[in-house]
Structure 1
Amino acid sequence: MPTLSQPLLDVQHVSKSFGALKVTDDVSLTLRAGQALGIIGPNGAGKTTLFNLISGNLQPQPGGRIGFDGQDITASAPQARCAAGIGRTYQVPHPFGRMSVFENVLVGATFGTGRHERDANEVARQILQRTGLAHQADKLAGALPLLDRKRLELARALATEPRLLLLDEIAGGLTEHEVAELIEVIRSIRAEGVSIIWIEHIVHALMAVVDELVVLDFGRIVMRGEPAEVMASAEVQAIYMGLEVAA
């Protein structure tokens, strides 16, 4: 486990380009154990690419480094990072559509942690209860409405027992009532000591959960701080909200 002075996640000078397009540009950030961090920014700012770098779906360019729990994981495969304690959701849920809701979560509980079948079954049942999907356990995942697909995306990530949970616009497309329900679930996850980094366009949802906000623009961090202070910034309003600021 990380010491009090050692961050759980340590991202240093990470960049990623696709051809001539630099999507992530010299990003450095740290996250303490138990902390919740929100990331905002306009479309194309590099938010999901940053998640892909942290989770191992992409590799940073030479010179960048990613540490987790004191270990250098820069070259580690996604499955190794999952086993180490990094779980994530995806902006567009892609469950195993022809498998049941329970089976989808069981895959994470089994292969994400190496549990024996009996233990994995019990964990899957508990997570379905926690995420409000217990009554849909036998339903085909491909038949779920959007809210329940989002819940399943979260349940599958939780089944891997993450210490760091990456949430990629998990509230997108939901009604206000559904967002409120989701906030309570995420709060309960954080209360158990799970660290969270949450990308979201629904800013009030982030404000209800996170300690700090990071603003990304053109692949670079332009501001990090207490949520209310960040959102009051004229620079952030101009970049993120498209507002003109008087000189």
Structure 2
Amino acid sequence: MTQIVTLKGVSKSFGALTVTDAVDLAVESGEALGIIGPNGAGKSTLFNLIGGALQPSEGRIYWQDRDITDLPAAQRCRLGIGRSFQIPHPFVGMTVYENLLTAAIFGGDAQSAPQTCRRVLELTGLMPKANLQAGSLGLLERKRLEMARALATSPKVLLLDEIAGGLTEAECHALVATIRDIHASGMAVIWIEHVVHALLAVVERLVVIDRGALVAQGDPKAVMADPMVQQLYLGIDADDAA
């Protein structure tokens, strides 16, 4: 498989504070990658660097073989990087369909935007809500809409930032089923999540970040069984784990 997003030595500092520390990471086309770490570990900053909301202080970012380090977020979106945000902020006075149409046109394909929107509405289960104002939606539907807006830009890589947070168990299961369908379509997914059981139900590889640095990666079950990861993320001492 080909590498679609690659980070080489990527760091981000704000003054004396380093929030991303020399990260090397490659994501393959069609891969489902999970990212975990304590609060403040730098996970969302990593997404901001991949998506173009932030520029790295050091290192380079590649889209396939193209250096995109200096490209703004809008151009990265049109290349194929779609992103959802932890807190949904839809256009509340517009309908669900209008939100998707805006995203599809922003993604650069105005001619096929209506067909794209219909496909995304069906994929995310939002078709029955298509003509409702976004401001009337409950939390699960807003989360789905946040993901759907990213999908409407026709991405090749979908960045999901803690999309399962705040959902009930049943809602979480429903969302996981949708993300599985998205991944099964061949789309690469990079998912930051604190709801670990949801993440493990989808991802094929797991990365752990602490203090801006990548500290572990590999098979999800093996990573979660690592005593260092249990101590770092779950607060389990190695002696207790044994």
TM-score tier by shorter-chain length is over 0.9
Output the amino acid matched with 1:79.
A
What pairs with 1:1-247 in structure 2 (closer than 5 Å)? 4=1, 6-62=2-58, 64-116=59-111, 119-246=112-239
Deviates more, 1:177-186 or 1:106-115: 106-115
Instruction: Tell me if the contact between 2:34 and 2:207 (Cα under 8 Å) persists in the aligned partners.
Output: yes
Identical aligned residues as a percent: 55
Report the secondary structure of 2:25's partner residue. Answer: strand
Output the amino acid matched with 2:82.
G
Deviation (angstroms), 1:112 = 0.7
Q: In 1, Cα distance between the equivalents of 2:237 and 2:135?
A: 43
Deviation (angstroms), 1:25 = 0.7
Q: In 1, Cα distance between the equivalents of 2:88 and 2:127?
A: 19
The count of residues paired between Structure 1 and Structure 2 equals: 240
Output the amino acid matched with 1:78.
A
Deviation (angstroms), 1:245 = 2.3
Q: In 2, Cα distance between the equivalents of 1:50 and 1:131?
A: 26
Q: In 2, Cα distance between the equivalents of 1:20 and 1:69?
A: 32
Report the secondary structure of 1:59's partner residue. Answer: coil
Deviation (angstroms), 1:113 = 2.5
What is the root-mean-square deviation in Å for CA atoms of aligned residues? 1.2
Instruction: Tell me if the contact between 2:172 and 2:198 (Cα under 8 Å) persists in the aligned partners.
Output: yes
Q: In 2, Cα distance between the equivalents of 1:113 and 1:171?
A: 28
Q: In 1, Cα distance between the equivalents of 2:14 and 2:40?
A: 13
Instruction: Tell me if the contact between 2:123 and 2:182 (Cα under 8 Å) persists in the aligned partners.
Output: no
Output the amino acid matched with 1:105.
L
Instruction: Tell me if the contact between 2:104 and 2:113 (Cα under 8 Å) persists in the aligned partners.
Output: yes
Deviates more, 1:236-245 or 1:48-57: 236-245
Q: In 1, Cα distance between the equivalents of 2:221 and 2:122?
A: 34
Q: In 2, Cα distance between the equivalents of 1:143 and 1:58?
A: 32
Deviation (angstroms), 1:110 = 1.3
Report the secondary structure of 2:9's partner residue. Answer: strand
Report the secondary structure of 1:246's partner residue. Answer: helix
Question: TM-score when scaled to structure 2?
Answer: 0.96
Structure 1: 5+ residue stretches without partners: none
Deviation (angstroms), 1:126 = 2.1
Deviation (angstroms), 1:42 = 0.5
Structure 2: 5+ residue stretches without partners: none
Q: In 2, Cα distance between the equivalents of 1:165 and 1:153?
A: 12
